[in-house]
Structure 1
Amino acid sequence: MCAVQGSSAGREGLSNSRGECRTNTAARADVIILGAGASGLFCAREAAGRGLRVLLLERAAVPGRKLAVSGGGKANFTNRTVSPQDYYCCQGREFCGPALASFTPEDMLRLMRGWNLPVEERAHGQLFLTVPAQRLVQALVRDCRERGCRLLCDAPASGVRVADECFQVEAGGKLWHGKALVLALGSPAWPQVGGSGMGYRLAQSLGHTVIAPRPALAPLRLSADDAADAALLELAGVSLPVRISLPDMAYGNGAACGWDDDLLFTHEGLSGPAALKASLFWREGATLRVDFLPGQNVETLLDAPQAGRQSARALLSRHLPQRLADALLPAALARRKIAELSRSARRGIAAAVQARDLRPSGTAGLKKAEVCAGGVDTCEIDPHSMRSLLLPNLHIIGELLDVTGLLGGYNLHWAWASGMAAGRNILK
């Protein structure tokens, strides 16, 4: 259970949540939003639509850099089905429930139709654009500006303090004043498109706790020092559907933590959707279990009457890439006729193919991670409005929070849902 007490950090002078900032009009706004990524743009659009004076400050030269290249440039913007069970949060994924219930995938699809952006559904309910994701960025920016939002780029925030009944933000060489502040600065993941830890530092300066971030939705490395895993490092380029699981972990309501998706071998280890999903829950030292023939039963294949005169290698090469079959099969058994194999030998082959345990040495790091797990502790945030429970009129949204979704459109949907929740409730 989260136990939150009021914090005095930065509160001096903020006695009236609707008090007027004592500064010139040009530098004043009702709400200042730091970060013009997916969640920040969405929050700005909603808040400006309510008639609030919104100032959106972006440290990069253009808004929405990460959004523009997401989903291979086609923005996997949501999933057909979204629920709290699709997210990881240290304090419990039920935190996501109110925001997700208030903004659904169908709500996002209605917006896409209004923007005349064509979409397509891919495997596992993933919804993508069929046009460049930059079109979505342009639609959001256009809506923000038409609703009166002021957007300034090349304006990195260097500090925030609270005084004279408002937030004072140093950004772009100026001092800006707002009655409310929204932190939408993302995480350090994917620094090539602007990821940084600035949001964490600002949240901490305002009294919030940050749960240590770690790379998530990232490829997993295998060690060449492990003889069993080293053979798999020779399989770069091999891809196939698998069942991947973390046998020592539970997911959801006690169910096994595992997923059916495509796995790609690389010269460093494992990638593809299956590995990226597993990386969200994997911890150093934990074991991964891979079923390379999901939906099949290898023992049954070996026991079939017509299989007896074949070798195990010949049989499995009809179901698996030959290079993978050779890497998985025990060398002493691979070329022997199946009829000559004992029951225990057949079980060993089945286990090697359908219950292969791997122990990754680590992830590929922040540069190759799509998102971070960890972030601002959700115990300190109201789940309905994304409002800080420590400091009046401060909201924290998107990837900056300790909420991380599975691969498949869930993280962008969280950006929309959390941004909408804050935008609807600022200065209410």
Structure 2
Amino acid sequence: MQNFLKVSENTQLSWRNLSIQNRISFLSQLAQLLLENKEEYATCITTEMHKPISQAIAEVEKCALLCNYYYENAESFLAIKSIKTDASESFVTYESLGVILGVMPWNFPFWQVFRFAVPTLIAGNTVVVKHASNVPKSAELIQSIFEQAGFPKGCYQDLPIPSSEVAKVIANPIIKAVSLTGSEQAGVAVATEAGKHLKKCVLELGGNNAFIVLEDADLEKAVATAVNARMQNAGQSCIAAKRFFIQENIAAEFIAQFKVAIQNLKKGNPLAIETQIGSLARPDLAEELEVQVQKSIQMGAKLIIGGNRKGAFYEPTLLTEVTTEMPIFKEETFGPVVAITIFKTIDDAIELSNQSEFGLGVSIFTQDIDFIKTKISAFNEGAVFVNEMVKSDPRLPFGGVKKSGYGRELAIEGIKEFVNIKTVVINKL
């Protein structure tokens, strides 16, 4: 392990001394490789964690978009910032920290790695990545892609270790900081270990996003977006819509349309381009979801459609009459389950939305934009999306509050998470 990390450390000493122009030059080739081989890479994703191939292709394409974004913007993001003070000269520089550890999940095995690794590398750091154990081929493939793009050996290294060894890696003095995308439990473990050694960490954890539909919303658009927001990747996303709050006057119509929409989702072989929903990544994940649903039904939730499991496949499921005490309201459901609660006023919806230990994002559907803008600050979330599903975008900072974690990925904020923001003051004698 020490020799492995030494390679990253030695590479970083030369990598950080390259100009920002030289470092970003590798991104164009990286993006080109992703686009030229997207079907091959997507097949790897789908084979390992069962994501429908069309969604896996879109994931690879999004990684290329990220590369192009930082190719165009990283130089300005990391430019020296002059600040007028009483001194002859004062400015701020953004310098690399060293070797950064990434602990990454399986549900978006390319995207979540790339959104960590690309800005971190371009800032002058090198990275080692402990990927999820159920996507080993994706993990190996990603390292080969960076190397094929011309990044010096040691810039990006896959770290094929069990989760039990992560603490030892964090403790190693070569590692300067850590970024985790994963569960709340994993976040606590990583933050605890990083804290012991006074090392910075960025945590992107779970979510229990609300999807709020007001009575003046475009119902057809709201339903179509709701299906995508909940069923994409079989619902295995921290930012998926999970708790649906529908205003009482339109609730019956929304439920009727939503039921038809999820019934029409095309099931089948995830490698078939027409497939829209497949199985979960592992049978145990479907079993856990089944327990959450069955407990909620026993507590009074009404099953409208679905609720059946076969191995790792869990039927798209719609539940109504959901209350705040039920597991499908209180807990994060990582699968294609829709939990509907009816509300009377916008203030009721805000209270329901905030009644969660998580705070990643919220979607609100309404045609009264001026009014809803007055309510945005009332939501305890990292993101508020109006008439759109919550999603990550390279141009916008991404992250949450409360038990959804802390720190930000993407945009200018993301590239500055793992830098030394150095103040320089000069006085002429």
Higher strand content, 1 or 2: 1
Answer with 1 or 2: which has the greater Rg.
Answer: 1
Give the structure with the larger helix fraction: 2
